[in-house]
């Protein structure tokens, strides 16, 4: 089987910026990634607690013959929130409409999407925390009463025209659940908090993806790739594709342990999953600033990146791996960071334990 043989019936983009799953769209890696997505809860690997809870919600809704409660999927990027939204629609046997928070900057944008829904349809709203305030307030009424008020005119002569909506299920996804206002969170009937994956689950995902891509993948190679995937299926599948390319060009096409290690070394992914930027941040912190504390903006300048990139792309994994601590005084390297880069901690330096002291959210110190 080749990527062209896969079922790539993914989605079509509507004029209003939303997308409807079920139409053919081929777009290289994006299409292949979509084809690798499981289509049922049973085929979804990992997140067993979420699967059990969500399965109960969907089965009860199907038995009642009504739209399921609204669902909020919260967790870091790449853990399968979009895949679960597609599975929810498939399990309910209804269409899936896809849009995102940044696309809904005006109440009219949201009204256009909601007014075109069909009964029972699942609306997937990605990055829901980035909706505009006006659209958010309209969504409250739509979720609770399946109704929106369309304002016609301006000033004292403005009139609100109520528009009834068909019963639908909203599936919201967010990587920053803390940014959602309380009234919006409270309107979701079920909230799924998704965790990073264990290496065994990632290995199973890699073996499934390798079979779909017709990549001969040895068990020890799958273990090696899973160890370097940062607990994230999206990263695991991306590394698998790059290892596949290496095996095709520089080996016999078969991915064994040696091929996997050589490919990952070429792409600068180290044994615990750090990439070039991660190591650059650690190296600057240790060599230039003696392990810290150092402010985020200063650290970002030292590696030639934007502060937001360092904060959102590098830091979460470095903190989770116990290599970096965020303190009120700034970023500080842990003893594990010195050990990982093979550097000796300076004499007299007070070791900082990971997770010892968190800084205030949004601080750039």
The Cα 203–Cα 220 span in angstroms is: 10
The catalytic position among 169, 175, 232, 334 is 175
Name the more confident of 221 and 23: 221
Q: Find the CATH number of the domain harbouring 307.
A: 1.10.10.10
Which CATH number goes with the domain that contains 247? Answer: 1.10.8.60
Q: Does residue 81 have an active-site annotation?
A: yes
pLDDT reported for residue 307: 82
Name the helix (H) or strand (E) containing 295: none
Instruction: Write out pLDDT tens, residues 133-169.
Output: 888 888 888 888 888 777 665 656 566 677 788 888 8
Same domain for 311 and 217, yes or no, is no
Options 26, 51, 227, 234, the catalytic residue: 234
Q: Is residue 357 in some structural domain?
A: no
Distance CA 45, CA 66 (A): 27
Residue range 101-128: mean pLDDT, rounded = 86
For residues 235-264, average pLDDT? 90
Does residue 99 sit in the same domain as residue 117? Answer: yes
Residue 204 confidence (pLDDT):
92
Give me the catalytic one of 16, 19, 81, 169.
81
Determine the pLDDT at residue 28: 54
Q: What's the pLDDT band for 212 if we cut at 50, 70, 90?
A: confident
Residue 67 maps to a domain: yes
Residue 189 shares a structural domain with residue 233: no
Under the banding of pLDDT at 50, 70 and 90, the label for residue 354 is low
Domain assignment present for 312: yes
Q: Catalytic: 365?
A: no
Q: What is the dihedral of CA 285, 286, 289, 294, to 10 degrees?
A: 40
Residue 1 — very low, low, confident or very high, per pLDDT cuts 50/70/90? very low
| pLDDT, average across residues 298-325 | 85
Are residues 280 and 262 both part of a single domain? no
How far CA 244 is from CA of 213, 249, 259, 309, in Å, comes to: 9, 9, 9, 28
Cα dihedral across residues 15, 21, 22, 28: positive or negative: positive
Task: Indicate whether 356 belongs to any domain.
Answer: no
Q: How far apart are CA 183 and CA 323, in angstroms?
A: 37
- Across the chain, mean pLDDT equals 81
- Segments in 191-291 forming alpha helices (H): 199-213, 219-227, 233-250, 257-266, 276-283
Three-state DSSP state, 18 = coil
- Among residues 16, 19, 97, 126, the one annotated as catalytic is 126
In a domain, 188, yes or no: yes
84 token code pair: 């679960």
46 closest CA partner among 316, 229, 262: 229
Return the residue matching tokens 């004292």. 156
Residue with tokens 């980035």: 130
Separation between Cα atoms, residue 341 and residue 48, nearest integer Å: 35
Do 168 and 294 belong together in one domain? no
Residue 51 annotated to the active site: no
Is 234 annotated in the active site? yes
Last residue of a domain, one of 266, 291, 319: 266
| pLDDT tens, position by position, 59-76 | 998 888 888 889 999 988
Residues 243 and 137 occupy one common structural domain: no
User: What percentage of the chain has pLDDT greater than the value 90?
Assistant: 17
Say yes or no to pLDDT of 14 above 90.
no
Q: How many C-beta neighbours within 10 Å does residue 113 have?
A: 22
Domain count, the chain: 3
Structural domain span for residue 302? 276-340
Asked if residue 353 is part of any domain, the answer here is no
Alpha helices in the chain (DSSP H): 28-35, 48-64, 81-92, 107-115, 133-145, 182-186, 199-213, 219-227, 233-250, 257-266, 276-283, 296-303, 307-309, 315-320, 335-340
Does 223 lie in the same domain as 138?
A: no
Of 167, 193, 219, the residue that ends a domain is 193
Question: Is 362 part of a structural domain of the chain?
Answer: no
Enter the DSSP assignment of 294.
B
- Choosing from 215, 247, 266, the residue where a domain stops is 266
Q: Are residues 291 and 148 in the same domain?
A: no
Given the residues 16, 82, 201, 232, select the one marked as catalytic: 82
Give a yes or no: residue 237 inside a domain. yes
Q: pLDDT of 249-262, one tens digit each?
A: 888 888 899 999 99
Among this protein's residues, is 82 annotated catalytic?
Answer: yes
pLDDT of res. 18:
46
For residues 88 and 124, membership in a common domain is answered with yes
- DSSP character at residue 298: H
pTM: 0.78
Check residue 203 and give its pLDDT: 93
């Amino acid at each position: 089987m080749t990527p062209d043989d896969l079922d790539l019936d993914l989605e079509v983009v509507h004029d209003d910026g939303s997308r409807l799953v079920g139409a053919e769209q081929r777009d290289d890696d994006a299409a292949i990634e979509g084809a690798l997505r499981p289509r049922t809860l049973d085929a979804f690997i990992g997140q067993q607690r979420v699967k059990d809870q969500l399965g109960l919600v969907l089965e009860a809704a199907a038995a009642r013959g009504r739209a399921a409660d609204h669902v909020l999927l919260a967790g870091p990027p790449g853990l399968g929130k979009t895949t679960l939204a597609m599975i929810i629609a498939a399990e309910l046997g209804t269409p899936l409409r896809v849009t995102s928070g940044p696309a809904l900057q005006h109440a009219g944008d949201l009204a256009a999407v909601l007014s075109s829904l069909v009964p029972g349809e699942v609306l997937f709203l990605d990055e829901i925390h980035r909706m505009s305030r006006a659209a958010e307030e309209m969504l409250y009424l739509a979720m609770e009463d399946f109704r929106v008020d369309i304002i016609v005119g301006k000033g004292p002569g403005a009139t609100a025209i109520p528009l009834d909506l068909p019963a639908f299920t909203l599936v919201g996804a967010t990587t920053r659940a803390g940014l959602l206002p309380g009234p919006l969170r409270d309107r979701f009937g079920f909230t799924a908090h998704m965790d990073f994956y264990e290496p065994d689950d990632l290995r199973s995902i890699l073996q499934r993806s390798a079979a779909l891509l017709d990549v001969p993948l040895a068990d020890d190679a799958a273990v090696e790739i899973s160890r370097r995937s940062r607990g994230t299926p999206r990263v695991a599948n991306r590394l698998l594709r790059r290892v596949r390319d290496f095996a095709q060009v520089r080996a016999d096409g078969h991915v064994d342990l040696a091929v996997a290690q050589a490919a990952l070394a070429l792409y600068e992914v180290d044994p615990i999953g750090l990439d070039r930027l991660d190591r650059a941040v650690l190296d600057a912190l240790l060599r230039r600033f003696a392990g810290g504390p150092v402010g985020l903006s200063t650290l970002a300048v030292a590696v030639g990146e934007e502060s937001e990139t360092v904060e959102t792309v590098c830091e979460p994994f470095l903190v989770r791996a116990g290599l970096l601590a965020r303190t009120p005084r700034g970023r500080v390297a842990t003893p594990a960071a010195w050990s990982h880069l093979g550097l000796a901690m300076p004499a007299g330096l007070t070791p900082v334990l990971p997770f010892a002291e968190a800084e205030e959210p949004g601080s750039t110190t």
